[in-house]
Homo-oligomer: A and B are copies of this chain.
Amino acid sequence: MDKREHLIEIATNLFSERGFENTPLSAICETANVSKGLIFHHFKSKNGLLREIFMKTTKLIVEINTTKSENLSPNEHLTELLESFFVQLKADKLFFQFNLNVIVQPSTREVLNDLIKERSSFILRETKTIFDKIDAPNSLVKSHMFIAELDGIALSYLSIYEDFPLKQIKEHIIKKYSKQ
């Protein structure tokens, strides 16, 4: 059992549940049954731990997007992206919330600035590659709209509307992008 990996896992869960600022390292240590010193030994600081977690997530996102089969039509590709987005959104509510969290909070935002830029420009690039095949002249605007819609749906679903009609929204948006 790799304690380093174990710590990352537990910290991710706690940060997701309570938010980064409201999760003292002591809580992580107690849950993981390790000493405080060990966190600093492995990650230098609490911010270091946060960056490590954020980087891991980005790596995951990149992997998912690059291993996707390339012999799909652009519309099929969009549909596939949407499908996996809605599956994940439902499965990993807390984790999505954590990502929203650290991006929106000024203090964490500052710590993660470079990593957020890196991740978001990757996502924009990937999306734009698809829209280039559909409507090249407007691909940038359409990509931004596509991303904003998904973020907005996540926000509404996770933090605003308890009875958000996720299923119907999914059908609506998939229908919209499958024939564009």
Contact check, B105 vs A19: say whether CB atoms are below 8 A apart.
yes
Q: What is the CA–CA distance of A21 and B102 in the complex, to the nearest angstrom?
A: 13
Contact check, A104 vs B107: say whether CB atoms are below 8 A apart.
no
By beta carbon, the residue of chain B nearest A162 is B117
Among the stretches A53-61, A76-84, A152-160, the one at the interface with B is A152-160
Q: Does A178 contact B (CB under 8 A)?
A: no
Name the prevailing secondary structure of the A interface residues: helix
By beta carbon, the residue of chain B nearest A152 is B152
Q: What is the CA–CA distance of A17 and B17 in the complex, to the nearest angstrom?
A: 25
Contact check, A156 vs B160: say whether CB atoms are below 8 A apart.
no
Q: What is the CA–CA distance of A151 and B1 in the complex, to the nearest angstrom?
A: 42
Q: How far is the CB of A85 from chain B (nearest CB, A)?
A: 13
Proximity string of chain A (9-21) to chain B, C-beta cutoff 8 Å, 1 when within and 0 when not: 0000000011101
